[in-house]
Amino acid sequence: MSPRTGTRWMALSTILGILAWLTPASAADIENVEALIRQGVELRQQRHDVRALPLFQKAYSMSRTPRTAGQLGLCEMALGYWLEAENHLGEALSLPEHPWVARNLGDLTGALATVRTNISEVTIGGGPAGAEVFINGQSFGRLPLTSPVRLGKGPADIEFRAPGYLTASRLLKVPGGTQETIAIVLTKASVESPPPTGAVEAASSPVAPSNRVAADQEPAPTASSRRVAAWVTGAGAGLGLIFGAVETVVWVGKKNDFDNHQAPSTMVHDCATSLTSAGGPECQRIHEDLVRARTLAFVGYGVAAALGVTSAILFATSGSDRSKADMAFVCAPDLGNRGVGCSFSF
């Protein structure tokens, strides 16, 4: 073959290579691709790489050419998508005769070299054989891996999964431009031993339902809950005592009014329970108030006594380690002295 013929074949192969990059597209599609590239370039000039990326991706999907691949790779490089940037920049540089690539050959070559300094090769080993390897949630195959994994600079969460083994993971900080090695060995999952034969028989016997009912019953109150109940009932006892004392004062006052009541005209004590209507309407009203106050006083003292006893029992059963500040307050009516008797238990 003559030199002239060889030159012709080289030119023809270049033209065919360029045509191979071009996908059938209408004039409208070509205009849309150009518009997307222009918008993407303008956004990158304004340092809006994140907003430019989807425009370049769409242009690349509509027309896969060295130019759309190169523009996409440059944007991915700016955003730190090192592996994707290497792929698209390499794709553009695979056809250096393309007019756009030829004009920007130096920049594209330098960009690809920079991208590769941010990619590391990581050799992943460990066991068991057949364990599936996940990196950042994506499956990369099963052990043993036949070749190192290329990872972009940044954190990489490497995880091993295998049936019958506990899942394990390790976070690797990939520096970029280096060769790293990591190994993870999974631990077998413990197999629970079967229950004893007696337990199986007990579970199948008629007694089992009653056992389950007993197990489902509410647990006995704890010492802390009894202590709270003790304070609540103690407070209730105190309120009952106050109520009874107030009614006792009313009771005593009404009794004095009843005993010392005098008729306006004779100035004689005219109230007595032995008389009809206790001596008249006014005496009867005082006597009714007296009886009501006395009844309420006894009710208050009775409630205070009951709650006080309950509080004392709860304090006594709430644990032997209670502090000396814990005390039970017990009160009961003292009918002989027209009052109430109280005591503290420590």
CATH number at residue 151: 2.60.40.1120
- The average pLDDT across 79-84 equals 95
Host H or E run for residue 68:
helix 66-79
Share of the chain above pLDDT 90, in %: 48
Q: What is the DSSP string of 135-174?
A: ETTEEEEESSPSSPEEEESEEEEEEEE-TTB--EEEEEEE
- Residue 77: which residues within 8 A CB-CB, separation 6 or more? 85, 89, 111, 114, 115
Bridging pattern class, strands 179-185 and 119-127:
parallel
Query: How far apart are alpha carbons 63 and 57 in whole angstroms?
Result: 10
Global confidence as pTM: 0.48
Answer yes or no: do 7 and 87 share one domain.
Answer: yes
DSSP tag of 346: -
DSSP-derived letter for residue 46 is T
Residue 343 CA, distance from chain mean position: 51
Asked whether residue 190 is assigned to any structural domain, the reply reads no
Same domain, 111 and 123: no
Q: Which parts of the chain are beta strand (E)? A: 119-127, 132-135, 138-142, 149-152, 154-161, 168-174, 179-185, 328-334, 339-345
Rounded to whole angstroms, the Cα distance separating 175 from 200 reads: 57
pLDDT, position 308: 85
Indicate whether 124 and 88 sit together in one domain: no
Of the candidates 123, 124, 96, 122, the one whose C-alpha atom is nearest the C-alpha of residue 108 is 96
Measure the CA–CA gap between 82 and 71, rounded to whole angstroms: 14
User: If you count DSSP H runs as helices and E runs as strands, how many of each does the chain have, helices first?
Assistant: 11, 9
Whether 218 shows a pLDDT value over 60: the answer reads no
pLDDT tens-digit map of 262-316:
766 666 666 777 767 776 788 888 888 888 989 998 998 898 899 888 888 887 8
Same domain, 146 and 165: yes
The C-alpha atoms of residue 217 and residue 213 are separated, in whole angstroms, by: 6
Do residues 97 and 14 lie in contact, with contact meaning Cβ atoms separated by under 8 Å? yes
Please check whether residues 96 and 29 belong to one and the same domain: yes
Average pLDDT over residues 158-185: 94
Considering the domain architecture, whether residues 111 and 35 belong to the same structural domain is answered as yes
Mean pLDDT computed over 139-165:
95
Instruction: Show the domain range for 272.
Output: 223-345
Q: Based on the domain organization, do 158 and 83 belong to the same domain?
A: no
Tens of pLDDT, residues 82-124: 999 999 999 999 999 999 999 999 999 999 999 999 999 999 9
Total count of domains within the chain = 3
Confidence band of 46 (pLDDT split at 50, 70, 90): very high
> Within a domain: residue 214?
no
134 located within any domain:
yes
Give the Cβ contact number of residue 14 at 10 Å. 14
> Residue 214 — pLDDT band, cuts 50, 70, 90?
very low
In a domain, 196, yes or no: no
Q: What percent of the chain has pLDDT over 70?
A: 72
Residue 128 preceded by cis peptide, ω within 30: yes
User: pLDDT confidence of 333, banded at 50, 70, 90?
Assistant: low
pLDDT at 69: 96
pLDDT of 133 strictly over 70: yes
Pull the structure tokens for residue 187: 């631990």
Apex 118 CA angle, 152 and 172, nearest 5:
45
Are the C-beta atoms of residues 71 and 85 closer than 8 Å to each other? no
Strand 179-185's sheet: what is its strand order? Answer: 149-152, 119-127, 179-185
Give the separation between CA 169 and CA 49, rounded to whole angstroms: 33
Instruction: Answer with the one of 98, 116, 134 that is the final residue of a domain.
Output: 116
> Do residue 109 and residue 151 come from a single domain?
no
Query: What value does the mean pLDDT take over residues 151-171?
Result: 95
Separation of alpha carbons 13 and 100, rounded Å: 18
